[in-house]
Amino acid sequence: MLHTKAQTFKKVLQSKIPDEALDYCTQLWISHPFHFKITKTRKTKSGDFRFRQNPYSFTITLNHDLNPFNFLITYIHEVAHLINFKQHQNNVPPHGAAWKRNYQQLMQPLLITDVFPEDLLVCLKKHFQNPKASTYSDAKLALVLRSYDQNSPKEQGMKSLAHLEKGQQFEFHDRVFEKGVLRRTRVLCKEMKNGKNYLIPNLALVKLIRES
């Protein structure tokens, strides 16, 4: 029965992650079983881990539109949460030192060129020296990951706000802004229509307005 369920699980993962990581990720599921769901796009998160007391069960959900490398990273991120919960329940911070150790240990066998392309691997190795709660908190890693999206920002004529110069104008959510100064992870930008200032994430995808 377990073998049959493992094969079914493997087929679900097969089109979502690099082939070289398939056996490893399936084995993680065998060692730490959980309900697995692929969901519609969620703007606030790429994945999720949940524990249910009655009946006792774990559930991991991942967004359907993640590129294979992002899907794999997010999958490992959530499995690390599951293992962390089994070890410590809710007695440690969700993204604290214990979770980081589990995340690092789970990712280590995958940090090879057979799984990730070289440009992404370089960013990942640096990121996993001290992994953050979200890969999107790591600006360089997030930009490289996005370049592997099926509808990449480059194909859509989009680019990260981080790549614009101060004073350049751009479109964001059908509104025109002028880039201002960086404040940690957000940029103070002036909306051209009303003259008000807004904080926009430095990694936001925007459309540059070319000067005529």
What digits encode the pLDDT tens for the residues 30-54?
999 999 999 998 888 999 999 998 8
Mean of the pLDDT values across residues 14-42? 95
Q: Which of 60-64, 96-100, 159-163 has the lowest mean pLDDT?
A: 159-163
Question: What values do phi and psi take at 152, rounded to 5?
Answer: -70, 155
Beta partners for 187?
A: 182, 200
Could you give the 3-state DSSP secondary structure of residue 207?
A: strand
Tell me the two tokens of residue 175. 């509104």
Residue 155 reports pLDDT greater than 60: no
- The H-or-E segment that residue 203 falls in is none
Range from 24-28, 43-47, 155-159 carrying the lowest mean pLDDT: 155-159
Which tokens belong to 123? 């960013």
Q: What percent of the chain has pLDDT over 70?
A: 94
pLDDT band at 212 (very low <50, low <70, confident <90, very high): very low
Q: What is the C-alpha to C-alpha distance for residues 89 and 24, in angstroms, rounded to an integer?
A: 25
Q: Which residues contact 160 (CB under 8 A, 6 or more apart)?
A: 143, 146, 153, 202, 203, 204, 205, 206
Other CB atoms within 10 Å distance of the CB of residue 79: 23
Q: Give CA–CA dist 160/145, Å, rounded.
A: 12
Report the pLDDT averaged over residues 101-110: 98
Q: Are 127 and 135 in contact (CB under 8 A)?
A: yes
